[in-house]
Amino acid sequence: MKKLILSLALLSIAATIAFAQKKVVRSAERNLRRGNIEEAYSDIKTAINDEETGSQSETYFIKGKIETQMFEADSSNTQETVALGREAESSFMTTFEMEEMDSTSKVSKDLFKEVIPDLPANLQGEGVYRLKNASFNKAIEKYEEEDMELSFEFFSLAADLDPKDTSIVFNAGYTANMIGNTDAAKKYFTKLLEIEEYDKLNAYYFLIQIASAEDKDPEEAYRIAKQAREEYPDDKGLAEFEIQLLLQLDKMDEAMASIEKALETDPDNPAIRLRYGYLKESSGDMEGALQEYKRTVEADPEFFEGNYYAGAIYLDKARNIITEVNNLSDEEWEEKSDSMLAEADSLYEEALPYFTKASELQPDNTDIMEILFQIHTRLKNEAKAEEYNQMLTEKLGEDWLTR
């Protein structure tokens, strides 16, 4: 009989303790509803540390709701605010795990209840999407203040809470890239590639740029560009990226095939024509290269590279002839020098308009000014030669010719 009484007493004590802990959870809820956030948080932390209430999903859900309101109310928007938001995220994720990732359970439905404008407060979600919206608002505020570090942190939190919100995920990647956090940028841009209906073109562009320029990994950049081209075969920018990377990887045959295919649909693309000229020049086809460079200028007279490289081929051809003249024997000199030098001068004349245009497009480029000075001097255009001499003296000093 004594044992029975003792057992009943122990059972009564355990029930009293359990009831007391449940009262703490209810107290946390009441304090949350009344706006007594600090008291609510103290209550819920006590409940979390209890063996029984600390093993219930509802307890963690309430904890996350309290932390979300604390996060919203913190207008300082510092790293400490971010940490509080991440703590709320952790509470919500623990809630969902305790519900065995069952999105159809009552707690999970409340956890992922939407926040809809104009609905009464008692019908609004208090879980994941409320935290996401608060973090998004803080991200925008920090972005407008040009604090990209914190803007990224808040965008990142919002994106992790709702990875299907492509606008927020893109902003997380974009701000990560702005602050040089390439690992995070790759993480978020890659997430976008997994969303079937999303227009992934800009995400691909960023991933190619990061792989090529930041990671110095042209093989990876080419892999991404090739994947992107399969989805966007008509995009001109991707075609240029692919060709440039093939050239960088010294895959000349593949580059040539890619260029010729691109030119079938975009014959007047100056950047692709330029690379076509480069491939021809690399193979020793100088005439073919010259024709491609000239075609870039025909397509776009303001295209600096086309003007410069067309002029450079004419200049090289002229200099090669002059080198040949200098190597002529006395007998050959008498017979051939005049015609050869006249041919060289005609090539200088051909080069002149291309370098002149290139100089107009890059008026501070002293290398091109020096070329123009040499051409005008060679052609005995004394006034123009002096004009470039004065420009170079002003930019490089009186001794520019002897430096």
pLDDT at 13: 42
Q: What is the DSSP string of 27-68?
A: HHHHHHHHT-HHHHHHHHHHHHTSTTGGG-HHHHHHHHHHHH
Using an 8 Å Cβ cutoff, are 98 and 57 in contact?
yes
CATH 1.25.40 fits 25-179, yes or no: yes
What pTM was computed for the model? 0.73
Sheet strands (E) in 47-178? none
- Which residue ranges of the chain lie beneath pLDDT 50? 4-19
Using an 8 Å Cβ cutoff, are 308 and 355 in contact?
yes
CA dihedral for 304, 306, 311, 313, sign (positive or negative): positive
pLDDT at 285: 92
SS3 402: coil
For the chain, the residue count is: 403
Structure tokens at 112: 């992922």
pLDDT at 163: 96
Q: What torsion, rounded to 10 degrees, do the Cα atoms 359, 360, 366, 372 define? A: 40
Q: Tens digits of per-residue pLDDT, 54-99?
A: 789 998 998 999 999 999 999 999 999 999 999 999 999 999 999 9
pLDDT at 377: 95
pLDDT at 4: 46
pLDDT at 47: 83
pLDDT at 217: 95
CA distance 90 to 84: 10
Q: What is the DSSP string of 188-251?
A: HHHHHHT-TTS--HHHHHHHHHIIIIIS--HHHHHHHHHHHHHH-TT-HHHHHHHHHHHHHTT-
Give, as one character, the DSSP assignment of residue 9: H
pLDDT at 210: 96
pLDDT at 16: 45
pLDDT at 28: 67
- SS3 helix, strand, coil % of the chain, rounded to 5? 80, 0, 20
Which residues fall within 8 angstroms of residue 299, CB to CB, at 6 or more apart? Answer: 268, 269, 270, 273
Name the residue among 209, 107, 87 with its Cα closest to residue 157: 87
pLDDT at 168: 97
Q: What is the DSSP string of 281-310?
A: HHTT-HHHHHHHHHHHHHH-TT-HHHHHHH
Give the H or E element holding residue 161. Answer: helix 148-161
